[in-house]
Amino acid sequence: MPFIIKQDKFGVIGNPIAHSKSPIIHNLWYERLNINANYEKILVENPNDLKNTILKYKGVNVTLPYKEEVAILANYKDEGVINTKAANTIINDNGILKAYNTDIFGFYEPIKNYKINNALVIGAGGAARAVYYSLAKNNIKTKVINRSKKDDFLCEVHTTLDKFEFDLIINSTSASLKNLLPLEENLLEKLAKNTKIAYDLAYNHDIFLDFCKLKNPNIITQDGLDMLIFQAALAFEYFCGIYPNEDLINEARELIK
Ligand code: NDP
């Protein structure tokens, strides 16, 4: 009988999933590190199929709209998952599903060397909650505003904003994807003029960062590409036991930008 080497299977679950760049990142790192594994896009249309689908893989990443649902069905949750009620990384440990949230790490890693005392988060969806928790963990005083009120998350609506000096403003809304600004122009202009760093979780959609730079040419801008790569790097460590080095991080960035 031929000797067959078993290949470990990983992937990213979502709906839709065609746009995901995660397979490019993970498969690059398997290749460079000689890891016998494959990472694929996994479309799950029916949430009832989530658990059985995950059990076919050694580990999966999870994206919209399932981050909350996988956190509920996991047998073990790390501190970030407990606090945000959302997971983006699941390890299948012989049928025991272990959930982690690597977005929290991914968000902060690109800005970790700046001195930041206070921040404003615009948006109150899933990503905003990971951002809020990440900032809180790093002792940064944070205010959250959203266009609508949320009963389960401490946030104010835009119109109540009366303070405009923040070291960091983060666009955690999906407005940029629709080529829209996340709040009224006059408010955003006042914020941009008084801010050191503007961060948009979106990437390849520059409307927010371009607006901030126009109003304040000294502002530092950060888009969401690095967040995507660093959340993948920590997920990769959970999956394979190795954190990709700087060269591998840079190579992935070049490949997907
Ligand atoms: P959600 O759908 O959970 O939340 C969307 C948020 O955006 C809500 O607060 C919503 O407000 C707000 N919003 C939507 N449209 C507008 C608008 N036109 N004006 C103002 N506010 C608006 O999405 P996520 O939190 O999962 O994702 C948010 C963004 O973060 C997306 O751009 C996504 O691509 C990005 N992201 C990037 C990651 C990365 O690795 N770089 C990782 C995860 C997310 P309301 O509640 O009133 O509807």
| Token output for 13 | 């679950």
Per-residue pLDDT at 154: 81
How far away, in angstroms, is 234 Cα from ligand 1 center? Answer: 22
How far away, in angstroms, is 7 Cα from ligand 1 center? Answer: 36
Q: Kindly list the averaged pLDDT for each block of 10 residues, start to end, along the chain of length 257.
A: 77 96 98 97 97 98 96 97 96 98 98 97 93 96 93 84 95 96 96 98 96 98 98 98 98 95
Mutate which of 103, 104, 134, 174 for ligand 1 pocket (most atoms within 8 A of beta carbon):
174
Q: What's the pTM value of the predicted model, to 2 decimals? A: 0.95
Catalytic residue among 6, 41, 56, 67: 67
User: Measuring from atom 34 of ligand 1, which residue has the nearest CA?
Assistant: 202
Does the CB atom of residue 13 touch ligand 1 within 6 A? no
Does the CB atom of residue 229 touch ligand 1 within 6 A? no
How far away, in angstroms, is 76 Cα from ligand 1 center? Answer: 27
Per-residue pLDDT at 4: 65
Ligand 1 atom nearest the C-alpha of 123 is: 9
Complete domains list, the chain, with CATH: 8-101+228-256 (3.40.50.10860), 105-223 (3.40.50.720)
Is 215 one of the annotated active-site residues of the chain? no
Per-residue pLDDT at 164: 93
Per-residue pLDDT at 3: 65
Does the CB atom of residue 62 touch ligand 1 within 6 A? no
Does the CB atom of residue 125 touch ligand 1 within 6 A? yes
